[in-house]
């Protein structure tokens, strides 16, 4: 029998009567994600999803790596199926895990017997397989508490499976089960992490980026598109809506007090993102704002921003410190791109002394000097839509 991949479900198993809907969506996401790896049979039994290659040409390494990035899966392991017979299980363990058994100093065998018709119980299987493995590999010390290598045996309905330790999956909920939202994607560290974290809750994303030529360069735009591409291995294919922002920023600089530039700019961003959300059927906005990190992210400033937004604003990193955000950024692969020295529109016309505790009435008064509707309409008419995927 060919090697297979076993995926264990996370909080999907807690979904009660709706569980089958979550499992079906998860399997659909897995099938779509593995299309470029070959032909696989994907099915679910007893809180485990089985990924079986149907052809010798299937790329198991690529499929295994992809499965670790699919939200809804809590652990991933490669396993070897064998006949449901104690000696077949022993032979499979020796053949499949030989290199790991030779390299380890201590081990134990852990068995799960889902097929209650199997004549031996879990303890008996572990004792039998473990005892004979110890005879074959006499250098190994049996350690049932903290072994260097745990040999796993699973006796299930269709076959028995032997594997080593599982690796963590992405966790969370399947993409598409949490609704759809627009994420404001800048070129910084925080917004890609925020997008990743909300996607982990099953949210499908559309991206919005605000582009201000000639104050921001083409390299800055390409940097953001690359960040979006890097997120697709977690979030799936998505569209980046590139909104021209130069005219709006210039009008704000011309008509409004300097210390309110950033606040009024953020209010325009929220309005434009809401407009994109309505066009694309999204029900919320997602931002990378972190409380107190910069002047526009105080409680007062966030309240002023939210006043311009008629949709819920989700802020996954709001209570995190920068080191936590950077740690996630490195893990998901966006950090090195985020720190490239191409500045986005948020750095254009930055006030020397930004207002940290603004009053909403004052902000509305300053905005009255602007043709808000006209500026919005012209920006939305010129939106560029770019689809990004893992393939480029």
pLDDT tens figures, 111-128: 999 999 999 999 999 999
> How do residues 312-331 score in pLDDT, each as one tens digit?
999 999 999 999 999 999 99
Per-residue pLDDT band for 392 (boundaries 50, 70, 90) equals low
- Parallel/antiparallel/unpaired status of strands 180-184 and 284-286: parallel
Q: Which of 37, 305, 118, 343 is nearest to 215 (CA)?
A: 343
389, 229 in Cβ contact below 8 A? Answer: yes
Q: Which of 307, 310, 217, 295 is nearest to 262 (CA)?
A: 295
Query: For residue 117, what are the CA distances in angstroms to 23, 50, 248, 349, 371?
Result: 27, 21, 71, 73, 75
C-alpha torsion sign, points 261, 264, 267, 272: negative
Indicate whether this model's pTM tops 0.95: no
Using only C-alpha atoms, the chain has a radius of gyration, in whole angstroms, of 26
> How do residues 335-379 score in pLDDT, each as one tens digit?
999 999 887 777 767 777 788 889 999 999 999 999 999 999 999
How many angstroms separate the CA atoms of 2 and 41, rounded? 12
Q: How many CA atoms within 13 Å lie on the side-chain side of 390?
A: 14
Give me the pLDDT at residue 157, please: 86
Percent of the chain residues topping a pLDDT of 90:
86
The more confidently predicted of residues 163 and 352 is 163
């Amino acid at each position: 029998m060919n090697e297979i991949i076993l995926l264990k479900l996370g909080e999907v198993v807690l979904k009660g009567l709706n569980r089958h809907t979550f499992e079906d969506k998860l399997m659909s996401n897995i099938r779509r994600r593995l299309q470029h790896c070959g032909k696989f049979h994907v099915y679910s039994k007893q809180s485990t999803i089985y990924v079986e290659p149907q052809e010798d040409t299937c790329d198991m390494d690529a499929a295994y790596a992809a499965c670790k990035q699919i939200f809804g899966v809590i652990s991933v392991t490669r396993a070897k199926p064998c006949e449901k017979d104690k000696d077949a299980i022993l032979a499979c363990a020796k053949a499949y895990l030989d290199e790991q058994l030779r390299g380890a100093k201590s081990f134990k065998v852990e068995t799960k017997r889902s097929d209650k018709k199997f004549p031996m119980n879990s303890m008996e299987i572990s004792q039998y397989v473990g005892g004979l493995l110890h005879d074959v590999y006499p250098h190994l010390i049996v350690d049932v508490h903290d072994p260097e290598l745990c040999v796993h045996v699973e006796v299930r309905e269709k076959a028995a499976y032997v594997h080593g330790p599982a690796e963590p999956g992405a966790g969370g909920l399947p993409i598409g089960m949490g609704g759809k939202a627009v994420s404001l994607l800048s070129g910084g560290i925080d917004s890609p992490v925020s997008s990743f974290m909300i996607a982990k809750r099953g949210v499908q994303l559309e991206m919005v980026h605000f582009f201000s030529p000639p104050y921001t360069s083409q390299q800055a735009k390409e940097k953001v598109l690359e960040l979006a591409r890097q997120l697709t291995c977690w979030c799936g294919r998505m569209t980046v809506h590139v909104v021209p922002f130069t005219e709006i920023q210039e009008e704000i600089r011309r008509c409004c007090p300097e210390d309110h530039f950033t606040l009024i700019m953020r209010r325009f961003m929220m309005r434009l993102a809401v407009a994109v959300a309505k066009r694309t059927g999204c029900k919320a906005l997602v931002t990378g704002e972190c409380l107190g990190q910069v002047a526009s992210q105080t409680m007062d400033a966030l309240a002023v921003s939210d006043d311009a937004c008629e949709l819920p604003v989700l802020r996954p990193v709001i209570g995190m410190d920068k080191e936590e955000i950077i740690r996630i950024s490195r893990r998901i692969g966006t950090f090195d791109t985020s720190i490239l020295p191409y500045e986005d529109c948020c750095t254009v016309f930055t006030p020397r002394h930004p207002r940290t505790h603004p009053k909403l009435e004052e902000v509305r008064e300053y905005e009255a000097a602007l043709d808000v509707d006209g500026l919005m309409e012209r920006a939305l008419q010129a939106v560029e839509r770019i689809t990004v995927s893992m393939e480029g």
